[in-house]
Amino acid sequence: MNEQHLNEAASTLWGHFNGATHFDALPAACRPASRAEAYEVQREVARLSGRLVAGWKIAATSVAGQKHIGVDGPIAARLLSERVIAGGLVIPMEGNVMNVAEAEFAFRLKHALPPRAEPYRTDEVMAAVGTLHLAIEVPDSRYHDFASVGALQLIADGACASWLVVSPATQADWRALDLVGHQVRAYRNGELAGEGSGANVLGDPRIAMTWLANELRSIGEGLQEGHIVTTGACVAPMAVAAGDSMEVDFGVLGKVQVGFV
């Protein structure tokens, strides 16, 4: 991918992101041919946005999530600062082609995890985490048929990033809990819409965090102090529409809520 192709791909994607519009696929000449190229396009989209990067999302950490977007493993993307909001607010759904919400565990970094030669271990990654947060991700895609374009075009497009709702840091002693078996229940308009556990997130949200640190390491990127990382759906994606509300109950960890307009 030369500079012209990179710029064309990134400009196309940012134009659709900024305009809340959609298209079929990147032109063949400027489609990324490797994960490295896909992440390079994603980086350029973030630069064109002029926004700060608030952190990262991991998509497709569960079988349900992988089926939803047509991939066979996790992918990652930057989160733009203006799209990370507090619980209790509302999210516009006009033009959203995915129309789902996802319950997720999110971690905030107290220490950076810079790129390095050797892989990160889970204990190192978790030692860099400061706080655990409860999150609801509301994804979207710039592609009309997001499940058919493949992992590389999805990575270039920010792995379906759109909105992330994040609670304050939980006050519970989360490090002492079994996050794998921890039950999570989501309620849409007061009725149970789905339930799951941390086991749906690559088997353990901490394993997902480690995967991200090493995915970024492989492309010369790193996690920065203060970054928020949302680790993927612990409950299968749930349909939502304008007028709905969603509350996710993480038990002793707390709750997070959002509305849709």
Q: Within 13 Å, how many C-alpha atoms sit on residue 218's CB side?
A: 14
Length of the chain: 261
DSSP notation for 207-244: HHHHHHHHHHHHTT--B-TT-EEEEEESS--EE--TT-
With respect to residue 189, please indicate whether it lies within any of the assigned structural domains.
Answer: yes
With respect to residue 184, please indicate whether it lies within any of the assigned structural domains.
Answer: yes
With respect to residue 98, please indicate whether it lies within any of the assigned structural domains.
Answer: yes
Would you state the pLDDT for residue 165? 98
Would you state the pLDDT for residue 63? 87
Domain count for the chain: 1
User: Taking the mean position of all CA atoms in its chain, how far away is CA 149?
Assistant: 18
Coil, helix or strand at residue 48: helix
Would you state the pLDDT for residue 250? 98
Structure tokens, 142: 């710039």
With respect to residue 128, please indicate whether it lies within any of the assigned structural domains.
Answer: yes
Parent domain of 248: 52-260
Max CA distance (Å), the chain? 51
With respect to residue 18, please indicate whether it lies within any of the assigned structural domains.
Answer: no
Query: What are the residues facing 256 on neighbouring strands?
Result: 248
Contact criterion met (CB below 8 Å) for 97 and 239: no
CATH number at residue 234: 3.90.850.10
With respect to residue 129, please indicate whether it lies within any of the assigned structural domains.
Answer: yes
Would you state the pLDDT for residue 163? 98
Burial of 117 (C-beta count, 10 Å sphere; 0-12/13-18/19+): exposed
With respect to residue 158, please indicate whether it lies within any of the assigned structural domains.
Answer: yes
Would you state the pLDDT for residue 54? 98
Contact criterion met (CB below 8 Å) for 258 and 246: yes
Show the low-confidence residues of the chain (pLDDT under 70).
none
With respect to residue 47, please indicate whether it lies within any of the assigned structural domains.
Answer: no
